[in-house]
């Protein structure tokens, strides 16, 4: 039987349920989870077979417009897997979980993050942006609660009061982001994914963007770092980025 027609076994179902429960898992943890699921259900485990294993799951998810998609984290340069809806990528897909006012706030958060130089938005700027909601205005405490919920449900990341789009959000909302912010969004010159938390070449004739973790990796050990596109000296401070994975719930 071909892989495209292979039926999901109990190990596949457990793997999928775990990813759904956690929202997103790192590639490292996905590999451990793959082994755990196979061993739990006494099924054959192939150490380097994660891609084929996920391929079986995706072949079964295709008719219902779902997909286990892999993407790069802008925070730590690690690869992550998330279950995404391939039929509905607009923010309104979240309408079953968030009301109209909450969705409008989330859109404003995306506006602020995409429009910033750092790929982040401060809590102060977010709270100020909600003064002119077209839907029902939220109280400050309600907006703060919403931000906490968006972080908890892994749509946003938060560090010291600054918010950024999570890997899960970028994976799910990529078509929406590229459509709505076509004139603002650039792709990373190194990994070719959406670059929000990034550095930009200071040569006005170039202006490529490189993710902070991609820049950290690309320029590591180079005494005189140069732009990979125009070969001008890369005068920006090279960032230092480290992974911070967390264990998934099984």
Position 242 confidence tier, pLDDT thresholds 50, 70, 90: low
Average pLDDT value for the chain: 89
Tell the CATH superfamily of the 186-239 domain: Zinc/RING finger domain, C3HC4 (zinc finger) (3.30.40.10)
CB 155, CB 173: distance < 8 Å: no
What distance lies between CA 38 and its chain's CA centroid? 27
* pLDDT score recorded for residue 135: 82
Position 202 confidence tier, pLDDT thresholds 50, 70, 90: very high
Percent above pLDDT 90 for the chain:
66
Percent above pLDDT 70 for the chain:
92
Mean pLDDT of 222-243: 87
pTM for the predicted model, two decimal places: 0.80
Position 246 confidence tier, pLDDT thresholds 50, 70, 90: very low
CB 195, CB 177: distance < 8 Å: no
Query: Could you tell me which residues come within 8 angstroms of residue 156 by beta carbon, excluding any fewer than 6 positions away?
Result: 109, 147, 150, 163, 164, 165, 166, 169
Fold of 91-179: Arc Repressor Mutant, subunit A (1.10.10)
* pLDDT score recorded for residue 223: 87
Q: Is the pLDDT of residue 2 over 50?
A: no
* pLDDT score recorded for residue 133: 82
Mean pLDDT of 16-35: 94
Q: Is the pLDDT of residue 56 over 70?
A: yes
The residue that leads in pLDDT, 93 or 197, is 197
* pLDDT score recorded for residue 190: 94
Q: Is the pLDDT of residue 8 over 50?
A: yes
* pLDDT score recorded for residue 78: 86
Q: Is the pLDDT of residue 90 over 80?
A: no
Mean pLDDT of 120-133: 91
What's the Cα-to-Cα distance from 71 to each of 20, 98, 172, 177, 182, rounded to whole Å?
Answer: 16, 25, 10, 15, 20
Q: Is the pLDDT of residue 18 over 90?
A: yes
Which H or E run includes 198?
strand 198-200
Q: Is the pLDDT of residue 250 over 60?
A: no
Fold of 8-85: 3.90.1150
Position 92 confidence tier, pLDDT thresholds 50, 70, 90: low
For 151-196, the DSSP string reads: HHTTSEEEETTEEEE-HHHHHHHHHHHHHHTTTT-EEBTTT-SEES
The domain spans of the chain are 8-85, 91-179, 186-239
Q: Is the pLDDT of residue 3 over 80?
A: no
pLDDT tens, residue by residue, 147-196: 999 999 989 999 999 999 999 999 988 888 999 999 999 999 999 999 99
Give the residue carrying structure tokens 């391939």. Answer: 86
């Amino acid at each position: 039987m071909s892989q495209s027609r292979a039926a999901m076994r109990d190990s596949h179902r457990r793997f999928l349920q775990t990813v759904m429960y956690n929202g997103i898992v790192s590639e490292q943890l996905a590999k451990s989870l793959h082994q755990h699921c196979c061993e739990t259900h006494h099924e054959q485990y192939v150490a380097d077979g994660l891609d084929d294993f996920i391929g079986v799951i995706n072949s079964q998810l295709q008719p219902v417009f779902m997909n286990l998609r892999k993407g790069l984290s802008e925070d730590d340069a690690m690869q992550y897997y998330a279950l995404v809806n391939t039929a509905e990528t607009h923010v309104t897909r979240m309408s079953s979980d968030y009301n109209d006012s909450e969705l409008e706030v989330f859109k404003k958060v995306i506006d602020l993050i995409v429009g910033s130089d750092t790929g982040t938005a401060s809590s102060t700027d977010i709270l100020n942006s909600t003064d002119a909601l077209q839907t029902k205005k939220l109280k400050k405490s309600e907006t703060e609660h919403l931000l906490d919920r968006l972080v908890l449900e892994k749509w946003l990341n938060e560090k010291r009061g600054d918010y950024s789009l999570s890997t899960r959000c970028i994976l799910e909302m990529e078509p929406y982001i590229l459509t709505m912010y076509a004139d603002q969004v650039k792709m990373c010159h190194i990994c070719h994914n959406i670059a929000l938390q990034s550095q930009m070449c200071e040569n006005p004739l170039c202006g490529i963007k490189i993710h902070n973790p991609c820049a950290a990796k690309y320029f590591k050990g180079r005494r005189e770092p140069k732009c990979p596109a125009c070969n001008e000296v890369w005068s920006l401070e090279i960032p230092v980025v480290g992974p911070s994975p967390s264990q998934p719930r099984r």
